[in-house]
Amino acid sequence: MAEAATMDTIVSLCRRRGFVFPSSEIYGGLGSSYDYGHYGVLLKDNVKQRWLAAMVQERDDIVALDSSIILHPQVWEASGHVGGFTDPLVDCRFCKKRFRADHLDDSQCGQRPSKKPGETDDCDLTEARHFNLMFETRVGAMEETGVPVYLRPETAQGIFINFKNVAQIARRKPPFGIAQVGKSFRNEITPGNFIFRTLEFEQMEMEYFVPPGEAEEWYRYWVEERYAWHRRYGIRESHLRIRPHDPDELSHYSSGTSDIEYLFPIGWSELEGVANRGDFDLTAHTNASGTKLEWVEQDGSRYTPHVIEPALGVNRSMLAFLVDAYDEEVVADRDRTVLRLHPQLAPVKAAILPLIAKNDDMTTRARRLYEELRPLVSVEYDDGGQIGRRYRRQDEIGTPYALTIDDQTLEDDTITIRDRDSLAQERISIARAREHLLDRLSAPWVSPKTDS
């Protein structure tokens, strides 16, 4: 199997098949912003569902939350974001481009892309200045009197400020967690790489509150647990690694962080962060709000829980799954592009294909099967064009199974089920199609791609 997942091939597939479009395209586009088409929405939803299943549904110790995007501005003062959530930036007075001071080695000079900023005689870089990444807006009708607020740059703070509410009603004692999926916003100055880094994105964050003496043990537990989640949904071992942060890399709140990195086409980069946030956040909000965010034991003793936080971007996770799944091969002298996505992540689980669109008996049977399956899983009916072309189209969007209704169906009530990865075709009875498909979709799965 040949693999050729450059960022360009992924961008082009996403556009061609309607996963992701550049945002505001008819107005010339807006940098680092993307819109998600039909298959992109379905894939992104499946990523979120699988995360929520692993974090909430399959566990007894984590509950869900959906907090506001716009919070009281003091939240961001207390959290340290107003003072410290900044990127160091330098401007080039000659080419007028702006660069991250700490990423100059990975950046291209505005005049000569083969050089780094500062490398040509014309480059004239300013000193680094700190630029806050939070988007500011106002609440209230009047621009002059409205209160300045921020769009949240992470979902985590909405969890910390609800600690007391949740702890009181969730009937759980530490260790327990609160999980949240939702949009976050960052005024990223340097252009991203497709959906790797964007102005708005979705995060899946979980804050796990533990007795202080257990923090280190739970930190290690969550690094392993989250690594296993990416592997469970097909990311190849050779493309996934755990990288502990050096002490000088740690965020202001963290006493230990490990990145789970993926080998993206741009090189090894952070996919997910797992941080030991200690008691930084609960203490900061207790001090700033006057409300004690602490745990009170039955004997009256109290402590501020420490927090372990696995934080993953939905869009970045989707990009990793797309890159990892992308494959090209030659089958019967023809090129085939295929997304070998985990069946539970695939936007469409099965295509229902009548072999001959003009045969009413075939289309009637096919539509009946489609109506039977669609309340259960995402399926697509397609009777347009040659069967080979229809298979190829489904391969490109990662549909794991194709159910074909042909001449033999009319004789013996059997259909073929075609496997996207092995291309094996098996005949099964149409009456058992539903059971057969659901069994296959729930079976354990490993990527058939070679692990290199």
Summarize as ranges the residues that interact with ligand GAP (CB under 6 A).
154, 156, 186, 188, 197-198, 201, 203, 205, 270, 272-273, 309, 311-313, 315-316
> Closest distance between ligand GAP and the C-beta of residue 319, in Å?
9
> Closest distance between ligand GAP and the C-beta of residue 288, in Å?
18
The C-alpha torsion from 427 through 432 and 436 to 437, rounded to 10°, is 100
- What gap in Å lies between CA 59 and CA 384, rounded to an integer? 44
Nearer to ligand GAP, 196 or 401 (CB): 196
Nearer to ligand GAP, 33 or 49 (CB): 33
**Tokens 């005049």 found at:** 111
> Closest distance between ligand GAP and the C-beta of residue 433, in Å?
38
Nearer to ligand GAP, 203 or 447 (CB): 203
Nearer to ligand GAP, 51 or 401 (CB): 51
> Closest distance between ligand GAP and the C-beta of residue 199, in Å?
7
> Closest distance between ligand GAP and the C-beta of residue 86, in Å?
13
Nearer to ligand GAP, 109 or 319 (CB): 319
> Closest distance between ligand GAP and the C-beta of residue 133, in Å?
9
- What gap in Å lies between CA 351 and CA 452, rounded to an integer? 30
- What gap in Å lies between CA 269 and CA 289, rounded to an integer? 37
- Tell me the residue number closest to ligand GAP, measured at CB: 313
> Closest distance between ligand GAP and the C-beta of residue 317, in Å?
7
Is cis: bond before 244, omega within 30 of 0? no
CB 226 within 8 A of CB 53: no
Nearer to ligand GAP, 256 or 400 (CB): 256
Nearer to ligand GAP, 203 or 414 (CB): 203
> Closest distance between ligand GAP and the C-beta of residue 83, in Å?
16
Nearest to 76 by CA among 281, 313, 337, 335: 281
Nearer to ligand GAP, 272 or 324 (CB): 272
